[in-house]
Amino acid sequence: MPADTDQQLVEKALGGNRNAFDMLVLRHQNRVAAIVARIIRDPKETEDVCQEAFIKAYGALRLFRGESKFYTWLYRIAINTAKNHIVSRGRRPPARDIEINELENAEHTIFLGDIETPENTLNTEKLKRAIEDAIEALPSDLRTAFTLREFSGLSYEDITEIMDCPVGTVRSRIFRAREAIDNSIKELL
């Protein structure tokens, strides 16, 4: 039975493994930044607030009981940190509370151009287009496995049944699809 990766990483981080927390940061930083950017609306402050949110999460990690998903817990910290940041700057917080569900369901892509980082020259639209092109170019079996996983959210076991192949094959196809996409965007980042 595969284990939840976030939960595994949290346990490792609680055991003193800072690399595990680094993996959690890399796993969630883009989504956390998207959430914070919706509240802060000041791209220059977004990263500072993200950083603060992750540091708070690290300090409070032992309080995470695993009763909810880790990302829900983390996003709530990010939302509260962003709101507090706005208040501390003497600005008005959002007119109404932004809820986790709303953030999860909403289209909240922020263009990379709004967030000025010297390392990144590609905006999110270009990135998305490159990903779409790469998916289109995948061999049929890889594209099917990847699409079922990424867009339909099916488990490897479900995909195994649909594609009528062993789970190892599903795992390998999804991996090879990711590698192909990764190779096509790597140079752009």
Partner 1 sequence: MSEFDAESLSALLDNEADDLSLPRILESYEENSNLVEKWRRYNLVQAAIHNEVVQVSPNLRKDIYESIKGKNDLNGFEIFGSRGQLLKIAIAASVATIFVLSGRFILEDAGSASQIADQRLISTDNLEAIPPFSNGEEYSEAELKAQELLKEYISRIHIDEEAPPVIEHLHNSPLYRLVNQIESRNN
In the complex, which residues of this chain contact partner 1 (CB under 8 A)?
2-6, 8-9, 12-14, 16-23, 25-31, 33-34, 36-37, 46-47, 50-51, 54-55, 58-59, 61-62, 107-110, 112, 114-115, 117-120, 124, 127-128, 131, 149-151, 155-156, 171-172, 174-175, 178-179, 181-182, 185-186, 189
Q: Which is nearer to partner 1, 2 or 90 (CB)?
A: 2
Q: Which is nearer to partner 1, 90 or 118 (CB)?
A: 118
* Distance from C-alpha of 66 to C-alpha of 9, rounded to nearest angstrom: 12
Q: Which is nearer to partner 1, 7 or 80 (CB)?
A: 7
Nearest distance from residue 135's CB to partner 1, in Å?
Answer: 9
Q: What angle do CA 9, 49, 90 make, to 5 degrees?
A: 150
Q: Specify the DSSP element, H or E, that contains 94.
A: none
Question: How many CB atoms sit inside 10 A of residue 50's CB?
Answer: 24
Picking from 110, 96, 43, 54, the residue whose alpha carbon sits closest to that of residue 77 is: 54
Nearest distance from residue 185's CB to partner 1, in Å?
Answer: 7
Count how many residues are written for the chain.
189
